[in-house]
């Protein structure tokens, strides 16, 4: 998202070509969809209509309007202090995942495409966007019952979503796929936005950097209320994202024939060498790194599979191993 001090380009050319958020936010349409957003919309320093992206209530109202206006998602909300993600970037991951499945054919659509979201959170945006964009069926897992309860509330408020998106509680904090993936169950994709930081202190420092980037430097007590929010499990874990992804890779071996592509976001480029070492140790047969960018932020996701070329062809034609 752009800060109010930065003029947004007419089109965000670095977003995926199918991403509906490539243009500037049309605040007239968004307010028409969700009147509450009007309380936060005002001209920025350049005279463009915008919101204060350092105001968590404003960002939440913008997300609610985007999900309603673009994806017809009603009653979206999150409890206080849960992660409030930027919708354009989350949509980008979904569209690049669709490319990963495409091969030489058209983007596969419909409920036969099954996707597992590891750490669905309280916002549920990946399944919500993915189902609306492509009709895919999602399983969303999380270790937080309160987060899952909030997503279920959103699903129940939208006809048909409870059939398209299923939620599962991960009862073992150290497990990722075990206890969630059932015997014989298959997935075309898994996705994950892993905890970024290695400690609470590092998470707080990251919030202060974001606060300064939004032009709010000097307000030492404000980062805790920063728009992105986040519970501890959403923000940090021992060893940070590199350690989390290494555990994910090691555990994915057990489910190598039950999933076509395992994927995860990797926020820090410095994490990539460790991720690649883990994948080599695990015996992944194919690894892809897909670059993404939202504004000035460079990101990427790493995808890996344990299926050989013959198994991949059979999977695409419905003859899954």
DSSP sequence for 41-84: -EE-TTS-EE--TT-HHHHHHHHHHHHHHHH---S----TTS--
Q: Cα 188–12–241 angle (5° rounding)?
A: 50
The whole-chain average pLDDT of the chain stands at: 87
Topology of the domain comprising 81-195+237-316:
Rossmann fold (3.40.50)
Per-residue burial over 110-139, b if 16 or more Cβ lie within 10 Å, else e, is: eeebbbbbbbbbbbbbbbbbbbbbbebbbb
Distance CA(23)–CA(11), nearest Å, equals 4
Q: Write the pLDDT tens digit of every residue in 129-185.
A: 999 999 999 999 999 999 999 999 999 999 999 999 999 999 998 999 999 999 999
Mean pLDDT calculated for residue range 276-302: 93
Q: Which residues contact 148 (CB under 8 A, 6 or more apart)?
A: 120, 140, 142, 167, 169
Domain locations along the chain: 1-71, 81-195+237-316
Q: Write the pLDDT tens digit of every residue in 87-136.
A: 999 999 999 999 999 876 789 999 999 999 999 999 999 999 999 999 99
The bridge status of strand 187-192 relative to strand 259-265 is parallel
Q: Can you point out the beta strands (E) in 86-180?
A: 114-118, 137-142, 165-169
Q: Does the pLDDT at position 239 exceed 80?
A: no
Name which residue leads in pLDDT, 242 or 224.
242
Distance CA(258)–CA(307), nearest Å, equals 10
Q: What is the pLDDT of residue 51?
A: 95
Mean pLDDT calculated for residue range 199-216: 46
Mean pLDDT calculated for residue range 63-77: 98
Mean pLDDT calculated for residue range 245-260: 98
Q: Nearest 10 degrees: CA dihedral of 60, 124, 113, 167?
A: -160
Helix (H, G, I), strand (E, B) or coil at 33: helix
- Measured between its terminal Cα atoms, the distance across the chain in Å is 41
- Report the share of the chain in percent with pLDDT over 70: 81
């Amino acid at each position: 998202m752009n800060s109010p001090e930065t003029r947004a380009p007419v089109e965000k050319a670095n977003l995926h070509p199918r991403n509906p958020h490539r243009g500037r936010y049309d605040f007239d349409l968004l307010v028409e969809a969700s009147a509450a957003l009007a309380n936060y919309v005002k001209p920025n320093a350049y005279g463009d209509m915008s919101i204060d992206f350092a105001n968590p209530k404003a960002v939440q109202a913008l997300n609610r309007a985007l999900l309603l206006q673009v994806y017809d998602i009603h009653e979206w909300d999150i409890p206080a202090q849960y992660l409030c993600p930027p919708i354009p970037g989350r949509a980008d991951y979904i569209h690049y995942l669709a490319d990963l499945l495409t091969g030489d054919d058209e983007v596969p659509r419909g409920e036969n495409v099954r996707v597992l979201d590891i750490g669905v959170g309280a916002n549920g945006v990946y399944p919500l966007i993915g189902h609306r964009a492509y009709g895919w069926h999602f399983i969303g897992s999380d270790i937080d019952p309160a987060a899952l309860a909030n997503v279920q509330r959103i699903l129940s408020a939208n006809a048909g979503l409870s059939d398209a998106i299923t939620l599962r509680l991960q009862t073992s904090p150290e497990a990722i796929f075990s206890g969630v993936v059932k015997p014989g169950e298959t997935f075309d994709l898994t996705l994950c936005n892993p905890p970024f930081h290695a400690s609470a202190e590092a998470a707080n420092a990251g919030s202060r950097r974001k606060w300064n980037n939004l032009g709010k430097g000097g307000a030492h007590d404000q980062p805790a209320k920063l728009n992105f929010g986040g519970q501890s499990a959403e923000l940090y874990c021992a060893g940070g994202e590199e350690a989390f992804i290494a555990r994910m890779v090691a555990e994915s071996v057990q489910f190598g024939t039950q999933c076509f592509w395992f994927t995860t976001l990797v926020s820090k480029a410095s994490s990539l060498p460790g991720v690649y070492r883990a994948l080599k140790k695990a015996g992944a047969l194919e690894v892809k790194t897909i670059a993404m960018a939202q504004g000035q932020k460079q990101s990427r996701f790493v995808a890996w599979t344990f299926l050989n070329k013959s198994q991949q062809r059979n999977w695409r034609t419905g003859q899954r191993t």
